[in-house]
Amino acid sequence: MGYQPPSQPGGESVPPPEGYTPPTGGYSNPPPPPSSGGGYSSPPGGYSAPPGGGMSPAGGSSNMGHLPQSYLNAVTKPNASTYESEMPNASWVKVLISIAIVAVVGFLLSFVTAGAATAQFDQSIDQLRSQGQYNAGMEQMMNALRGFLAAGPILSLVSPFITFFLGAGTQYMAAKTLGGSQGGDFMTHAYLSSLSYAPLRLAASIVSIVPVVGACVAFVLYIYQVYCVGASMQTSQRMQAGRAQMSAFIPFILILLLTLCLCGLTVILAAGAASTTSP
């Protein structure tokens, strides 16, 4: 049709601007209206899912195959960059899996050691009975020990969930008090903490079977695990290294002081009881 200049009121047409050349063949028709359904039509070729294997509903990748390597990296390379790369993988499911691994292994070890200890107790009781030295007081003590050993596996199965979340929560609150990032969520903090918790607590449970030496090694592993948590909080709480380590060790120091106070109180009470019963 060609260019049709618009008309002014009164029927006079407006001339085109100087130098304007109308397009040949006129303007093309406008695009067709959307479909009657009113929805959004998919682009050509369809929509493809983003790479990465999808995300779990709780946040983080749903793939669990990376956990062994994540455990190894957290223990052998405890630095901010290691934990920074793990933040997209955070999820509650992986936190619970890590704690459950520690709980199940602890249950099995406790079950085996409790069975061996009970058998040894029974053998000792038989010897005392054969010698005529077994009395009612010793029987009550042995029954109490049997009950403690029987409860050991159950406590080993439940206590990791309690102690982990209690410790992680205390460290999280300490980090907030010392200026940690207000945007750092507890789930990410718990996930990064669990990466060192699982392998180091497993190792501590295994070496604790060895008397005395195993307990010393387990204590050293516990301190190193707290250090790894401090390194993770540099990332999860956006803190400087010194403040992050301080936040991680505050619960450990409080527990240590409380244990020393209880031990000192026990010694004082025992000494007082001994002095009152002595002639």
User: CA of 163: how far to CAs of 44, 80, 102, in Å?
Assistant: 54, 25, 12
Is residue 204 within 8 A of residue 224, CB to CB? The reply is: no
Tokens describing residue 268: 């004082």
pTM of the entire structure? Answer: 0.68
CA distance 155 to 147: 12
Give the model's pLDDT for residue 40: 39
CA distance 98 to 93: 9
User: CA of 145: how far to CAs of 57, 112, 267, in Å?
Assistant: 46, 16, 22
| Strand, coil or helix: 135 | coil
CA distance 98 to 199: 9
Domain residue spans in the chain? 67-260
Give the model's pLDDT for residue 162: 94
Residue 213 CB neighbour total at 10 angstroms = 10
Give the model's pLDDT for residue 266: 85
Which ranges of the chain have pLDDT less than 70?
Answer: 1-62, 121-122, 124-126, 128-129, 132-140, 142-143, 182-184, 273-279
Give the model's pLDDT for residue 65: 86
Is residue 92 within 8 A of residue 58, CB to CB? The reply is: yes
DSSP state of 14: P
**131 Cα distance to chain centroid:** 54
Residue 67 CB neighbour total at 10 angstroms = 17
pLDDT tens digits along 204-244: 999 988 888 999 999 999 999 999 999 999 999 999 999 99
Where do the H-state alpha helices sit in the chain?
A: 67-76, 80-86, 92-130, 136-177, 186-207, 213-236, 241-277
Give the model's pLDDT for residue 39: 42
Is residue 250 within 8 A of residue 170, CB to CB? The reply is: yes
